[in-house]
Amino acid sequence: MQTLPPQLITARPLLAARNLTRRYGSIVAVDDVSLVVYSGETLGIVGESGSGKSTVLRLLNLEEPADEGQVTLNVPGYGDTNLFSLERFQRRQVQIRHIGIVYQNPHQGLRMRVTSSGNVAERLILAGERRYATLREAARDSLAVSEFPLERMDDLPAKLSGGMQQRVQLAKAIALKPALLLLDEPTTGLDVSVQALVLDTLMRLQRERQIATIVVSHDLGVIRTLADRVMVMRRGRVVEQGLTDQVLDDPQHPYTQQLVHAKL
Amino acid sequence: MPSLAQLAQPNQDYSYGFLDAFAKRELRRRMLKAIALPGYQVPYASRELPIARGWGTGGLQVTLSLAGPNDTVKVIDQGADDSVNAANLRRFISRMTGVATTTDTNAASLIQSRHRIPEERLNEGQVLVLQVPDPEPLRGVQPDISRARQMHADADYALMWLGLYEQLVRYGRFVQGASYPVIVHQRYLMSPSPIPRWDTPSLHQAAHLTLLSAGREKRLYAVPPYTDVYPIEFADVYFQVEDQSGRVCMITGAGNKFMDELPQTDGTSLYRISDTGYIEKLVKQQRGEAAHVGETYYDEAGQFYHAGFLKSTQGNSARSADFSPRVGQDAD
């Protein structure tokens, strides 16, 4: 691959979220969060448990509406639309075609009573594919890209190891070549060697496809490996953001300093 | 001292057919709505009847509110006119309405059925009432009823094809035997009640009106005459009916009708046509007695009467060999 000289980005960001606020009763889970992600770029979100990072991801995945703020995704047909203002059906279409998500808990992202290949094929079925041969082929291709052992593609996810379940989730997320990939603690709960393998796959994907990725993790190692830029959240607010090396090596905010130095 | 007869209300002819006028009005209005929206499940106020919910109360309420003194009613249960459930319902309907009853499909104006559509083609003007245990075809993929209704509103039925995919991956063919989901009038997904796959095509462009009613779930829906009804299938793997070829009815010697299997002690099986009214007529005909045997949905060679509606089986068997789940998996 040819390396290009650094240049000023003049393209529109792929994803732009402005002033997102989400309250649950009196709790403000996300407080005035804005972010932009460009094509091919990876943004990391770090923070302690309860800092609102998963809620941000749920909002960006259009699973629930924000109380305030808007999200735009620069994909054909929806470039200037606030995605929260879409009708239920359209919103689901955007979600299926343009956004892929990997959850920490495979039970959230996979149907445990449906075969692994079926889980991947589901995305294409939802997008309107009605040919069995095509579904089969696409499921196999997508599973191969996420480095899933193909001889087990018709096993139920419940019978797979944690690492393989995450690979099925990843295959499902990228089956339709989405513009935006959301990773919610993708490797938490995996042992260190499997974690490294899954991270390898993710990094290869980043190189090969120009997907904009947002990765949420409390594991700074994962963030350092994957993310170009990082955003530190605390109590629903963004306390610091910048390039990954800059934020993690020279943290300015006291909370970030504490986070970076908190090692066992 | 006055007798009990003197104190009681005098008998009135007002409430004909067990249900009171309000109940019948409710049901008829809901039926009209159901006919206007083919395949759409219309909620209705299901009444108490002297049989238990789940034993055909939905169908019975529809039959009672439609039957008039000039009707002829046939009641079937799993194809049989003489099973306990069918006999009970028939006796109740005839007592409450005074209508004539029959076992002849062509002679009936109103047919209440559980799990079968008669072999003989129904004609214009006939009404088929199907008893439905579970009206919601999306139950398997969406247990939440309110979400399922949203999916119906959006015509968002894609997940049903995931079910088909799973059946092909695991068994190499569609294995759902009854209640095979259909799309009615290019709009609503509908469960055709637990009729076998064999009967599902009979609903397509049928001359008769079909009313489906679930008394326990309080939903009724309809397939009006001459409405498109297509079973869900893949663009390259087709819906198939049960293969009845090679099965010969032990009573009539007929083939290519839906058969009941009667396992024998020596491990073999005998077969008998499931539609007893049809057997009755065939037997009469064979004895040389006067019997009008109507046209059937499937002819002697097993061909469906709408040519081309069921796509070729040869192509499909080759296809299922290509896609069979465990055989040649690494090769394909």
* Segment B309-322, tens digit of pLDDT: 998 755 444 344 44
Do A100 and A174 contact (CB within 8 A), yes or no? yes
pLDDT band at B8 (very low <50, low <70, confident <90, very high): confident
What contacts B322, CB < 8 A, 6 or more positions away?
Answer: B332
**Ranges of chain A whose pLDDT falls below 50:** none
pLDDT at B324: 43
Tell whether B330 is within 8 A of chain A (Cβ).
Answer: yes
Q: Which pair of tokens denotes residue A156?
A: 């139920």
Which residue does chain B place closest to A90, by CA atoms?
Answer: B154
Sign of the CA dihedral A146, A149, A154, A160?
negative
Q: Which residues of A touch B332 (CB under 8 A)?
A: 136
pLDDT exceeds cutoff 50 at B63: yes
* Segment B193-244, tens digit of pLDDT: 999 999 999 999 999 999 999 999 999 999 999 999 999 999 999 999 999 9
SS3 call for B326: coil
pLDDT exceeds cutoff 90 at B13: no
pLDDT at B322: 44
Q: How far apart are CA B46 and CA B26, in angstroms?
A: 9
Which residue does chain B place closest to A154, by CA atoms?
Answer: B169
Tell whether B315 is within 8 A of chain A (Cβ).
Answer: no
Across the range B70-85, mean pLDDT stands at 94
Q: How far apart are CA A129 and CA A124, in angstroms?
A: 6
Q: How far apart are CA B127 and CA A154, in angstroms?
A: 45
pLDDT at B66: 95
* Segment A207-238, tens digit of pLDDT: 888 889 999 988 888 899 899 999 999 999 99
Of A92, A132, A150, the CB nearest to B236: A132
Q: Which residues of B touch A132 (CB under 8 A)?
A: 164-165, 168, 234-237, 323
Q: Which pair of tokens denotes residue A233?
A: 């959240």
Mutate to test the interface with B, among A125, A131, A134 (most CBs of B within 10 A): A125
pLDDT exceeds cutoff 90 at B7: no
Of A117, A128, A151, the CB nearest to B169: A117
- What's the mean pLDDT when you consider all of chain B? 90
Tell whether B325 is within 8 A of chain A (Cβ).
Answer: yes
pLDDT at B14: 63
From the CA of A230, how many Å to the nearest CA of chain B?
Answer: 37
pLDDT at A149: 93
Which residue does chain A place closest to B173, by CA atoms?
Answer: A132
How many other C-beta atoms are found inside a 10 Å radius of the C-beta of residue B14? 7
pLDDT at B321: 41
Dihedral of the alpha carbons of B35, B36, B37, B38, in degrees to the nearest 10: 40
* Segment B35-61, tens digit of pLDDT: 999 999 999 999 999 999 989 999 999
What are phi and psi for residue B283, nearest 5 degrees? -65, -45
Tell whether B156 is within 8 A of chain A (Cβ).
Answer: yes
Q: How far apart are CA B263 and CA B272, in angstroms?
A: 11
Residues 123-142 of B with CB under 8 A from A: none
Of B161, B166, B323, the CB nearest to A130: B161
Torsion region of A25: left, alpha or beta (phi above 0 gives left; psi -120 to 50 gives alpha): left
Tell whether A260 is within 8 A of chain B (Cβ).
Answer: no
Q: Which pair of tokens denotes residue A54?
A: 């998963």
Of B158, B164, B325, the CB nearest to A126: B158
User: pLDDT over 90 for what percent of chain B?
Assistant: 81
ipTM: 0.87
Q: Which pair of tokens denotes residue B211?
A: 């009313």
Nearest residue to A161 via CA among A198, A203, A135: A198
What are phi and psi for residue A104, nearest 5 degrees? -65, -45
pLDDT band at B28 (very low <50, low <70, confident <90, very high): very high
Of B156, B166, B234, the CB nearest to A130: B234
Q: Which pair of tokens denotes residue A185?
A: 């603690």
pLDDT exceeds cutoff 50 at B329: no
Partners of A184 in beta bridges:
A216
How many other C-beta atoms are found inside a 10 Å radius of the C-beta of residue B92? 19
Assign 3-class secondary structure to A87-140.
CHHHHHHHHHHHEEEECCCHHHHCCCCCCHHHHHHHHHHHCCCCCHHHHHHHHH
What contacts A56, CB < 8 A, 6 or more positions away?
Answer: A17, A20, A30, A33, A35, A45, A216, A233
Measure Cα distances from B297 to A254, B121, B313, B314 in Å. Answer: 80, 6, 18, 21
Which residue does chain B place closest to A126, by CA atoms?
Answer: B158
Q: Which pair of tokens denotes residue A175?
A: 């089956």
Q: How far apart are CA B96 and CA A20, in angstroms?
A: 65
Q: Which residues of B touch A136 (CB under 8 A)?
A: 323, 332
From the CA of A170, how many Å to the nearest CA of chain B?
Answer: 19
What are phi and psi for residue B247, nearest 5 degrees? -95, 130
Tell whether A87 is within 8 A of chain B (Cβ).
Answer: no
pLDDT at B254: 93
Q: How far apart are CA B296 and CA A74, in angstroms?
A: 58
Tell whether B323 is within 8 A of chain A (Cβ).
Answer: yes
pLDDT at B12: 66
Torsion region of B113: left, alpha or beta (phi above 0 gives left; psi -120 to 50 gives alpha): beta
**For the residues of B238-290, what is the DSSP string, one character each?**
-------TT-BBTTT--BSS-EEEEE-TTS-EEEEES-HHHHHHHHHHHHT--
How many other C-beta atoms are found inside a 10 Å radius of the C-beta of residue B171? 12
